Amino acid sequence: MKDFVLFENVCKYYRMGELEIPAALNVNFKIAKGEFCIIVGPSGAGKTTILNMLGGMDSCDSGIIQLDNNKISGLNERQLTDYRRYDVGFVFQFYNLMQNLTALENVELASEICTNPQDPKEVLKQVGLGERMLNFPAQLSGGEQQRVSIARALAKNPKILLCDEPTGALDYNTGKNILKLLQDSCRNTGKTVIVVTHNLALTQMADRVIHVKNGTVIKIEENTNPIPVERIEW
Amino acid sequence: MNIIYFVAQQTMFFAIPLLIVALGGMFSERSGIINIALEGIMVIGAFAGIAFINVTQNSMSGQVLLLLAVLVAGISGGIFSLFHAFASIKLKADQTISGTALNMFAPAFAIFVARMVQGVQQVQFTDTFHISKVPFLGDIPVIGPILFQNSYITTYVGLLIALLSWLIINHTKFGLRLRSCGEHPQAADSVGINVYKIRYAGVFISGILGGIGGLAFVVPTSTNFNATVAGYGFLALAVLIFGQWRTKRIFFSAFFFGIMKTFASAYSGIPVLKDLPISNEIYKMIPYIATLIVLTFSSKNSQAPRAEGIPYDKGSR
């Protein structure tokens, strides 16, 4: 299972009137099942575009994207919605929680639409929010809200967990805790986790690091000895 | 005691249509689509329902006919609302303008068709639906006279709709998804909810309920349909806002407005009010003044769905 995630010559352009701006140019990489992978690069490099294409939030203009031997490139909108529903868990920088739903309801929203969900209450306990299930997002701290959104992503039992700058809005220690939670989910449950960040220091914690610049992959590193996030300082 | 029963029975005629239509508005708005087309949808629903009664009343009568008319009104209202859904979901049009267009189109359509078919714009019907007393239930003390005497079957349809709406919005998966689409469609989309589909469903339900509400308004209060529902669609919007987009509060605010309306139109049946040296016009103003006052105070801490009125664009995810 070397090619759990596969990108082959993937290109994506954004059109602004007459102008065509390339957001991804011939992107090639592979990620194995169960890996903790970090996509790193300066802002505007195309990290989020790559993540969104893999998560079925965006379509590519050419090339092949595969997850678990299923082709994602070329799916239509309806198929992409199904794909997001069953196969992908998303974690965003600004949490994207429903403000009018409790933490538990936010997780249920995701778990109730897929076939093989985990118990929402159990997942919330796993992420350390057993006591705060009935609170609304506004009553939770940033770190706690991010935990809810991780729980929401995990509850669906997705094939892959995609995190877009998950610590971008959090302070140093809270961010570390969130990354530890993600790393633990990867190690303990064998879930493939992909994290997008601009923080180069974090690359030490990943099994695989994909460096992106100007829409292309410039370097792929494999880490045989990833460091637990607790021991990384930045 | 009789006066209280009289007021309660009158209130039902006004409150039930408001309740049904406001709940319809709730389904649309909590999915994220502003529906000010409720007035137009009511007109179309009432028109189709009354026209159905007009055509078939020689071969049928009574509650079966009314229930069938409710069905016709609901379906036609639902179909009519799909224009609004198509414009505001698929074409991403301004939802206020699209709703206004429907409001202007509906009475014109009703008048045009009525005149083409029968020469005059009033569609007549014979009221064979009045229930003077429900057997057995009407004999219960207090509740009997309030709920089960001098009523129409639309009252019970309305109460059933209120109960179902509460269950659907708060206790089903569909309700959870509907609420999430009105609150944060981007996040809903990212977990794999089809925002467009849910919003179509929300608007369609509001069309069905709006159509039923139109019929429920015309049948107890008139014997013909004259291409208007007297601004009830807009009053229902006020109920929806006063009800803070929540089923229970909409229920109570519908009855609040219903009572106000009863004072306005039936005050001459209430001796205490009739004896007061206040002119007719003042009473007629009561519901509208109440609307103004109530909205002034309640719209400040509005709990409107956050993404309401914003066309969902996948690009801004």
Q: Please state, as a whole number, how many other Cβ atoms lie within 10 Å of the Cβ of residue B226.
A: 18
Burial class (CB in 10 A: 0-12, 13-18, 19+), A154: buried
Residue B315 inside a domain? The answer is: no
Classify residue B314: in a domain, yes or no. no
Q: Do B179 and A100 make contact, defined as CB atoms within 8 angstroms?
A: yes
- CA dihedral A70→A74→A80→A82, nearest 10 degrees, is -50
Q: Which residues of chain A have pLDDT under 50?
A: none
Chain B residues close to A101, C-beta within 8 Å: 176, 179-180, 183
Q: Is residue B277 part of a domain?
A: yes
What pLDDT sits at residue B316? 57
Gap between the Cα atoms of B294 and A25, Å rounded: 58
Complex prediction ipTM: 0.74
Domain range for B105: 2-309
B295 is a domain residue: yes
Q: B106 and B66 in contact (C-beta within 8 Å)?
A: no
Strand partners, A10: A27
What domains can be seen in chain A, in order of their start residue? 35-60+77-231 (3.40.50.300)
Q: What is the CATH number of the domain that holds B32?
A: 1.10.3470
In this prediction, residue A201 carries a pLDDT of 87
Kind of pairing between the strands at A36-40 and A192-197 = parallel
pLDDT at residue A189, as a whole number: 85
Which residues in A have their CB inside 8 Å of a CB on B? 52, 55, 57, 78, 81-86, 88, 90, 92, 96-101, 105, 108-110, 112-114, 152, 156
pLDDT of residue B33: 95
Please answer yes or no on whether B191 and A152 come within 8 Å at the CB atom: yes
Q: Could you tell me which of B268, B225, B226 has the C-alpha nearest to residue B10?
A: B268
Residues in chain A: 234
CB contact under 8 A, B194 and A81: yes
Q: Nearest CA to CA, how far is B239 from chain A (Å)?
A: 21
Cβ–Cβ below 8 Å for A109 and B177: yes
Interface test with A, best of B180, B189, B191, B312 (most A CBs within 10 A): B191
What's the DSSP call for residue B312?
A: P
What pLDDT is recorded for position B218?
Answer: 94
Query: Could you report the average pLDDT of every consecutive run of 10 residues in chain B (317 residues)?
Result: 85 93 96 95 96 91 91 97 95 94 96 93 90 86 86 93 95 92 90 92 97 95 90 91 92 92 82 80 84 79 83 70
Q: What is the pLDDT of residue A137?
A: 92
Quote the pLDDT of residue B315.
Answer: 62
Strand boundaries in chain A, DSSP class E = 5-16, 19-31, 36-40, 62-67, 70-71, 88-91, 160-164, 192-197, 208-213, 216-222
Q: Specify if B161 maps to a domain.
A: yes
The CA distance from B155 to A4, in Å, is: 59
Measured between CA atoms, how close is B69 to chain A, in angstroms?
36
Number of domains forming the structure of chain B: 1
The pLDDT of residue B7: 87
Smallest CA–CA distance, residue B24 to chain A, in Å, is 20
Our CA-based measurement puts residue A163 at a distance from the nearest CA of chain B, in whole angstroms, of 12
**A97/B189 CB distance under 8 A:** no
According to the model, what pLDDT value does residue B43 have? 97
Backbone angles phi, psi at A3, to 5 degrees: -105, 60
List helix spans (H) across chain A: 47-54, 77-87, 103-111, 120-126, 142-155, 172-189
Give which of A47, A68, A50 is closest to A58, Cα–Cα. Answer: A50
Position A118 scores a pLDDT of 87
B282 occurs within a structural domain: yes
Mark out chain B residues that contact chain A at CB-CB < 8 A. 173, 176-177, 179-180, 183-184, 186-194, 303, 305-306, 314, 317
Residues 6+ apart with CB under 8 A from A117: A110, A111, A155, A156, A157
Q: How far is A232 from chain B (nearest CA, A)?
A: 31
